């Protein structure tokens, strides 16, 4: 009888969730992209708001390069004690490991903690371009194959895959021109060196308001509340759209209690009005997902992008 009672008590103890516990030491939050970008602004806002929850200290460290894979690699190879975590967009987590031979292969190789924001990209042309609608632009690309130049933020990025999906579903042939980011791509668009450019929310607001660019469509399942007059590609018959989400992650093996503590600290910021206002100012949506939900989202994106990367000839050998 005593043995049965001990066994039951032991089993019950195992079923109780681990209590939340702060990491034992200062925390480094790795951002795999440059200072001043949306990833950097987002993580610094969150870290600043939750500093009081980490009395030993918490700070952001930028580890750039490799489309985010250098920073993510440092995260996944760190000691799994909660003192090294990071944030990365879905492309760095699900596309880069399929394009390159990296220490992490799938979302099973790290521990998603929480998703923060999710957004979709737009396609823009110059304000004086002859195409007034996305249909006119696609019709022009069909009429003269490879005569128009569509720009993205780089090979294998979400912008590149959005354009690849658009080309496939619309049967339009255009030249893909990769750049290193918004500043380089927008300069090329305004200078007439490319005909269309994939942009992130908020990036083109001033140029659009001044009439220097026209935003023709959004790569999203529904219209953006920030641009309610801009149609989705799906509305006009082209099923194209790759989302971007920013996920906090930790090395595999982080203690449950530590993961819970970090998750709860981040969640508190995400639900705060100040962060809601920050996201609104950047024209993106807060999309809280806990660890399991974030991992399920990443796995879905991983498999959805696999065939597309293969079709583009971008998968690692």
Domain spans of the chain, in order of start: 24-118+244-311, 122-236
Res 6: pLDDT: 43
Band of pLDDT at residue 179, cut at 50, 70 and 90: confident
Task: Please state, for a pLDDT cut of 90, what percent of the chain lies above it.
Answer: 79
Identify the bridge partners of residue 110 per DSSP, sorted by sequence position: 251
The residue among 195, 113, 187 whose CA lies nearest residue 151 is: 195
94-111 residue pLDDT tens: 999 999 999 999 999 999
CA pseudo-torsion sign 191, 193, 196, 202: negative
Beta-carbon contacts of 40 under 8 Å, excluding residues fewer than 6 positions away, are 31, 33, 34, 60, 62
Q: What is the DSSP string of 251-299?
A: ETT--HHHHHHHHHHHHHHHTSHHHHHHHHHTT-EEEEEEHHHHHHHHH
The H or E element containing residue 60 is: strand 58-62
Beta carbons within 10 angstroms of residue 313's beta carbon:
6
Q: What is the DSSP string of 236-250?
A: GT------EEEEEEE
What's the CA gap between 281 and 159, in Å, rounded?
22
| pLDDT at residue 268 greater than cutoff 60 | yes
* Domain 24-118+244-311 identical in fold to domain 122-236: yes
Band of pLDDT at residue 80, cut at 50, 70 and 90: very high
Superfamily for domain range 122-236: Periplasmic binding protein-like II (3.40.190.10)
217-243 residue pLDDT tens: 999 999 999 999 999 999 999 988 999
Res 295: pLDDT: 98
Judging by DSSP bridges, how do beta strands 244-251 and 84-89 pair with one another? Answer: antiparallel
| pLDDT at residue 211 greater than cutoff 50 | yes
292-312 residue pLDDT tens: 999 999 999 999 999 889 988
CB burial of 280-297 (b: ≥16 within 10 Å; e: otherwise) equals eebbbbbbebebeebbeb
What's the CA gap between 65 and 32, in Å, rounded?
7
| pLDDT at residue 139 greater than cutoff 50 | yes
Q: Across residues 258-277, what is the average pLDDT?
A: 98
Task: Give domain 24-118+244-311's CATH number out of 3.40.470.10, 2.40.70.10, 3.40.190.150, 2.60.40.3140.
Answer: 3.40.190.150
The H or E element containing residue 61 is: strand 58-62
What's the CA gap between 123 and 189, in Å, rounded?
11
The H or E element containing residue 169 is: helix 158-170
What distance separates the 2 farthest-apart alpha carbons in the chain?
A: 85
């Amino acid at each position: 009888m005593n043995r049965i009672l001990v066994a039951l008590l032991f089993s019950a103890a195992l079923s109780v969730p681990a209590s939340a516990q702060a990491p034992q030491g200062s925390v480094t939050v790795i951002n795999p992209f440059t200072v001043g970008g949306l990833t950097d602004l987002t993580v610094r806002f969150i870290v600043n708001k939750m500093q009081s929850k980490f009395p030993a200290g918490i700070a952001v460290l930028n580890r750039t390069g490799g489309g985010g894979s250098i920073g993510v690699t440092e995260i996944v190879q760190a000691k799994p004690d909660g003192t090294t975590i990071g944030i990365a967009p879905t492309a760095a987590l699900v596309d880069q490991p399929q394009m390159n031979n990296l220490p992490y292969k799938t979302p099973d190789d790290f521990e998603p903690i929480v998703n923060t924001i999710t957004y979709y990209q737009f396609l823009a042309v110059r304000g004086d371009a002859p195409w007034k609608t996305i249909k006119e632009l696609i019709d022009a690309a069909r009429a003269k194959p490879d005569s128009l130049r569509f720009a993205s933020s780089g090979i294998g990025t979400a912008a590149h895959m959005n354009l690849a999906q658009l080309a496939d579903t619309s049967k339009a042939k255009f030249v893909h021109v990769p750049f290193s980011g918004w500043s380089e791509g927008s300069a090329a668009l305004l200078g007439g060196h490319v005909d269309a450019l994939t942009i992130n929310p908020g990036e083109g607001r001033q140029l659009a308001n001044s009439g220097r660019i026209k935003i023709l469509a959004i790569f999203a399942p529904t219209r953006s509340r920030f641009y309610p007059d801009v149609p989705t590609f799906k509305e006009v018959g082209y099923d194209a759209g790759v989302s971007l989400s920013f996920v906090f992650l930790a090395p595999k093996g982080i203690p449950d209690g530590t993961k819970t503590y970090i998750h709860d600290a981040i969640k508190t910021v995400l639900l705060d009005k100040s962060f809601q206002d920050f996201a609104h100012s950047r024209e993106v949506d807060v999309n809280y997902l806990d660890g399991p939900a974030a991992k399920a989202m990443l796995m879905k994106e991983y498999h959805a992008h696999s065939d597309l990367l293969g079709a583009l000839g971008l998968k690692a050998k």
